[in-house]
């Protein structure tokens, strides 16, 4: 009796089993770290064994290349003043289709819609990184691999948290500097307290400047205060 040939779905199911085994090993032993690279190597090796090909295709007419400009607030190393750094990068995006092919019967295929997005300093880098990460995450997500360190959403949330923390620390530094300047001024100009409170209230409700959370606001308060009061002599 002739051996029954596996169809493309059965072959893909076998590849999926490889992921399940590795994940079980990871959770079972506890201390074993399985990287995405190891998972991907096992997936591609099993693809070869099961005579499967994966062909990426860009949907004609969907490729877009555009300049992406954004600002990043930084603190001057010497003066400690905040400033906006302008960054110009190239954003590449396109609709894609990944096509699984059964090499034993090339007429048997599975098409999966996908996308690519890349952002780097020039178009070729953007396109190259977009293809690399698109392929990587397609395999991980198609086979249901639970990524942790390299998951895009997880990475994005960590990046946002890091940026928010940087903003918080920058704002805190400026506010602390203003606090010292303000205290020194009022120590020598106590009669100006009400006037100063009214001035600060323009930047923070009720004059509670320690509640300021935006570095740009804190920096403006400090700058404007120095310009308005630092040359004022004690009455």
Q: What is the pLDDT of residues 18-47, one digit of tens each?
A: 876 555 444 443 444 456 677 788 889 999
Domain final residue, candidates 107, 124, 150: 150
CB atoms within 10 A of CB 174: 26
Shared domain check, 184 and 146: no
Shared domain check, 102 and 83: yes
Supply the pLDDT for residue 162. 66
Which residues span the domain enclosing 198? 158-229
Which whole-number Å values give the CA distances from 178 to 36, 61, 79, in the listed order?
A: 48, 55, 14
pLDDT at 159 over 50: yes
Pick from 120, 73, 59: which is nearest to 92 by CA?
A: 120
Shared domain check, 206 and 122: no
225 and 178 in contact (C-beta within 8 Å)?
yes
Q: Which of 80-84, 118-122, 165-169 has the lowest mean pLDDT?
A: 80-84
15 and 47 in contact (C-beta within 8 Å)?
yes
Task: In whole angstroms, give the CA distance from residue 67 to residue 23.
Answer: 40
Read off the pLDDT band of 104 (50, 70, 90).
very high
Is 209 inside a domain boundary?
yes
Task: Write the DSSP symbol of residue 122.
Answer: S
Domain final residue, candidates 105, 128, 150: 150
* 20-34, 65-79, 196-210: which is most confident: 196-210
Is 138 inside a domain boundary?
yes
Supply the pLDDT for residue 53. 96
Read off the pLDDT band of 158 (50, 70, 90).
low
Helix (H) or strand (E) holding 13: helix 8-29
Task: In whole angstroms, give the CA distance from residue 60 to residue 19.
Answer: 33
Shared domain check, 128 and 24: yes
Q: How many residues does the chain have?
A: 235
pLDDT at 76 over 80: no
Shared domain check, 120 and 46: yes
Domain final residue, candidates 150, 185, 202: 150
Contacts (Cβ under 8 Å, ≥6 apart) of 93: 63, 64, 115, 116, 117, 118, 130
Is 23 inside a domain boundary?
yes
Six-digit token string for 100 = 């699984």
Task: In whole angstroms, give the CA distance from residue 16 to residue 136.
Answer: 15
Shared domain check, 176 and 135: no
Is 235 inside a domain boundary?
no
Phi-psi label, residue 60: left if phi above 0, alpha if psi -120 to 50, beta otherwise: beta
């Amino acid at each position: 009796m002739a051996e029954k040939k596996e169809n493309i779905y059965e072959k893909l199911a076998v590849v999926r089993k490889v992921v399940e085994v590795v994940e079980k090993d990871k959770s079972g032993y506890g201390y074993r770290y399985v990287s995405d690279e190891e998972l991907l190597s096992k997936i591609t090796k099993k693809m070869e064994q099961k005579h499967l090909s994966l062909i990426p295709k860009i949907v004609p007419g969907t490729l877009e290349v555009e300049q992406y400009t954004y600002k990043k607030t930084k603190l001057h190393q010497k003066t400690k003043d905040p400033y906006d750094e302008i960054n110009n990068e190239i954003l590449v995006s396109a609709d894609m289709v990944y096509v699984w092919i059964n090499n034993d019967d090339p007429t048997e295929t599975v098409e999966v819609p996908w996308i690519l997005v890349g952002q780097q300093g020039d178009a070729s880098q953007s396109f190259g990184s977009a293809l690399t990460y698109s392929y990587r995450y397609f395999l991980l997500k198609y086979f249901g691999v639970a990524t942790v360190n390299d998951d895009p959403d997880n990475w994005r949330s960590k990046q946002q948290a890091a940026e928010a923390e940087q903003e918080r620390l920058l704002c805190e530094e400026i506010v602390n500097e203003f606090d010292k300047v303000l205290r020194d001024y009022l120590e020598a100009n106590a009669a100006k307290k009400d006037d100063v409170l009214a001035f600060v209230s323009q930047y923070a409700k009720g004059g509670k400047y320690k509640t300021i959370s935006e570095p740009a606001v804190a920096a403006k308060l400090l700058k404007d205060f120095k310009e308005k009061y630092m040359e004022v002599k004690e009455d």
